[in-house]
Each structure stands twice: as C-alpha cells, then as structure tokens.
A and B are shown apart, each in its own frame.
Chain A
Amino acid sequence: MIQLRDVSLVYSNGVRALDAVNLDIAKGSFLFLVGHSGTGKSSILRLMYRELVPTSGQVIMDGIRVDRLRKGRVPHFRRSVGVVFQDFKLLAGKTVWENVAFALQVTGASTREIVRSVPRALDLVGLSHKSRMFPHELSGGEQQRVAIARALVRSPRFLFCDEPTGNLDPANTTEIMELLLRINLKGTTVIVATHNQAVVDRMKRRVVRMDNGRIVADEERGSYFVDDVPALTSQKAGY
C-alpha cells in the first residue's frame, strides 16, 4: 500500500513540482501516471523511491513514513523497491549477468544468493540465453529487460518505471508492457509513468493524470485522455 498525503514538492529554485497531492495505491495494483512533461510524474516516483523528500506532506509505503527515513536507512529501504528508467542505466562494461548481479553484489549479497537469484531474474525477463552478452550487443527492448531483471533480482514489493518504453519501438514496447503485467500478476505493485497513449489505452488499467503538479483525474480502467481534461487543451505547466 502506498499513500501520499497532501504531498507538495518545491525545488530549491522555487519551482513547485507537486501541489498537495493525495494518492492511495493498493498493494499489488498496476497504475499509470500520465501527463505532459514537467507535470510531476517523475517527481512522484522519485518521492516513492526516496530520491526526493517532500517539502510538506507524507509518503507512506507499507506503513513506513518514507519521507522521514533517516539517511542511513535509505539504502535498506531502496532494496525493497525496483526502479526502471527510459535510458536503462546499464553498465556498458559489464555483461547481462554482471549487470543484474551488480544490484546484489553492491548490497553485500553472498555468492550463493547471487548464483540463485540472477538466473531466476533473467529467466523471468526471457534473457537467460544472453547472459554473457554486453548491453551494446542487445536491442533496446532487451536492454530494458535487463534493467527490469536488475530491478527485480531482489524480489521487490514495488516496481517504479519512469518512461520505460520511451526509447523503444512499438514491438519492443508491447513486449516490455506484457513483461510488466506478468510481474504485476506475481504480486508486485507496478507504477508506470508514461507518455505512451497506445499502451495506456490498450491496457485498461488505473490511470492517474497529472497536470501542473496536481492530480486532475484518477480512473480505474482508464485511458490516456480523460473527456473533461483533453491533453491538447489542458493548461500547460508553468515551468
């Protein structure tokens, strides 16, 4: 369960990224965050994996006040979430296996744990046969699958995806979204910030629409455009 209570976020340059946002996300759900660039989608995700701290309000995940976590506790908290980005953030000098194992190695996991968990994560994303390849030898979709495997290798309760299909063609996009659905069906809460209208419309999942740092629509089984807030006429963010 994720709860955002009156969350506001003002950056040090004075820009108000979020304005009194309230949001409840049930455990095991799948949710799209949509809206223009700069409307606060990524900011919400960054609050959830504690890269940012809200200026005011509360971020509660499974009963933990994430906004109040002490600095020393943040690394341990991060191990319970997975994050996926548009640019994959893979290490070019490491193989697929090493990229996935890296998430475990740097958190001090034992060799036994690594040998057990990495093949499972690679199997889940369908890349077991490419474990010795380097990122540049893979397609964009495959690279994103490696990034997802890395995010999943610790079996996190939450998976945050920031524009995961932004760099992918339609075929790869479909593949990645199907993978995210499969992950969700295994019980992981998945939150996807996206611009991709086709994906959102096809999947018929909960859609939260952001505009100017506020939630302007929240629909179960929604679509990218909401009738009363069409994207083309909605007020553009002021920054």
Chain B
Amino acid sequence: MDFGRFRFFVREVFANLSRNAGMQFTAIGTVAVTIVLLGSLLFVRESVSRIGAQVLSQIEISAYLTDASTDDTAAQLRHLMSQDSRITRITYIPKSVGFAEMRTHMEGQIDTSLMTSNPLPNAFRIQVRRPQSVAGVAARLQRLPGIAKVTYAQDIVLKLLRVTEVIERVGIGMIVVLLLVAAIIISNTIRLTVFARRREIAIMQLVGATASYIRAPFIVEGFIDGLVGAAVAVGILAGAQAELLPKLFAAMPFVPMAHAGVDEHQIVLQLLCTGAALGTLASWVALGRYLRT
C-alpha cells in the first residue's frame, strides 16, 4: 500500500469516528462499563474461589482403623493409600496420640482426670489435592480392609463445592450477557455510521470497491471503540484497585481475597483484547446486512 492509499484509508476511518461522535461515545462507554463489570466480576469470582479453596484445602479425612488392627495393618494401609495420586498427606495417629490430643482439646471444658480409658481407635488423617476428590477418596478408603469408619466434613465440602460451582456458572452467565449487550450496542452504533454513510457506500459499490475495502474502515472503527472502551475500563479498575482494595483488605483481614499471585499485566492484556475483539466482532456483524451487492 503506498502512502497516499494509507492516508486515504486513515482519513476514512477518522471520518467515520468523528461523524457520529455522540454514538461513538456511547459505544466506548458501553464497552468501558462492560469491561469494568467484567473485571469486578472476575475479581469476586477469583476471591470466592480462593476462599473456597482455602477452606476446602484444610478439610481432612479421618479414617479409623478396626480395633483388631495392628501397626502392620497400619503400615500396609499407608502403603496402599500412598499409591493414590489424589492424596497429598497421610498422618498416622495411634490411639494413644489421639487420646492425648483429645485430652488437650477438652482441657478446661470437662474434668479430664475422669477420662481414664481410651475409647479411640488408631486412625489416619488424610489430605487430598483437590477438594472435589474428597468424597471419592473417602469412599475408596471405606472399602479398604482394616478401616472401620471414614469421616470428613461432608456438609461443608458439599455446600462449598455447590456454592463455588453456582458462582462460577452465574459468573459465566453474567459475563456472556454483558458481552452480548455490549456487542449489540456497538453493532447498532456501527449501523448508524453505515446508515449515515450509505450514499458514500452506494457510490463505492457503484464504482467497483470490493466489499472488504468498504468494510475495513468500519471494522477498524469497531476495533478502536472496543480498545478505547477497554482502556478506559482498565483505568477505572486500576483506580479502584489502588483506592478501594487496601481499605477492603484492612476491613476483612481474615478473608483471602484475590490479590497476591495475580498477573496484573496479563489481566490488563486480556481485558484490552476482550474489548477490541468485542468491537471488531460487533461491527463485522453490523455490516453483514448492509453490504450486500
């Protein structure tokens, strides 16, 4: 492309952008609001999933051995369990240790001197890699010979898993709806620009401009709308992060919110790409109907 052609193309794009300044503002604003909501939603989702993961990671499975079990049985069981890749840690608690722990727990609550005989069996405390596999591991342990009973915080695990799953799904649903609404608004903006330039487009078609040539400035317009909107949103989110997050952390020091370990550059890049892709796609759809020869 020689310089004259490039200059003409850039002029066409800016003519498009300036012609409907009000509508461009609407489109950019819509993308910005969408991306801000998207960013906030991702933050909440990440925080909730971290809280859930932290709670769930602390959940242990207790496997109580039969009264007849010996240290050999325990050793065999440990060997069997260590072959399960889902299990990360196995701690053997002989009945005497368990009893001592119980006494320490109960200290001050009851008269521990009355606890003369040990009712506890030998036990294993097991931690798993993923909270989702707690139930499966527990069920398998239950079937092992020498294991009398397996317990874990079933209710908490199930509820937390369900909550995180629901939040995950609602989050995805909201993201889809948000993106769709933004796409429709951008699409309509581009349609208005196309409508405003229909005379020019008709002449272009008449003199033999190809569909892709006619389409290009509008696609670039959508791309710029999306990118600028996303950049505005990233600015707002960065401001919010700097101003609000420290206060939020200070107010809830015990809640592990999404902050540490997040690659901010990558998130910024993802949000900018989302905005640009949204704008480009929306204008592509908008043009389909108008540019039939």
Chain A contact residues, CB within 8 Å of chain B: 49, 71-72, 74-79, 83, 89, 91, 102-103, 105-108, 110-111, 114, 150, 154
Contacts and interface: CB of A to CB of B under 8 A. Distances in A.
A77 B206 CA distance: 10
Contacts of A91: 199-200, 203
Contacts of B207: 78-79, 102-103, 106-107, 150, 154
A75 B5 contact: no
Interface residues of B, number: 20
Nearest to A115: B4
A49 B206 CA distance: 8
Contacts, number: 59
B4 A114 contact: yes
B5 A111 contact: yes
Which of A106, A111, A114 has the most B CB atoms < 10 Å from its CB?
A106
B254 interface: no
B4 A106 contact: no
Interface string B188-222: 00000000000110111111111101100000000
Interface of B: 2-5, 8, 199-200, 202-211, 213-214, 293
B80 to A, nearest CB: 68
Instruction: Please report whether the interface of chain A is mostly helix, strand, loop or mixed according to DSSP.
Output: helix
Nearest to A105: B8
Given A106-B204, A106-B213, A111-B4, A74 B199 contact: no
Given A75-B209, A103-B207, A106-B204, A111 B293 contact: no
A71 B211 CA distance: 10
A106 B197 CA distance: 14
Contact of A110 (B2, B203, B208, B211): B2
Contact of B293 (A75, A103, A108): A75
Contacts of A72: 210-211
Contacts of A49: 206
B5 A108 contact: yes
A91 B19 CA distance: 14
Contacts of B8: 105
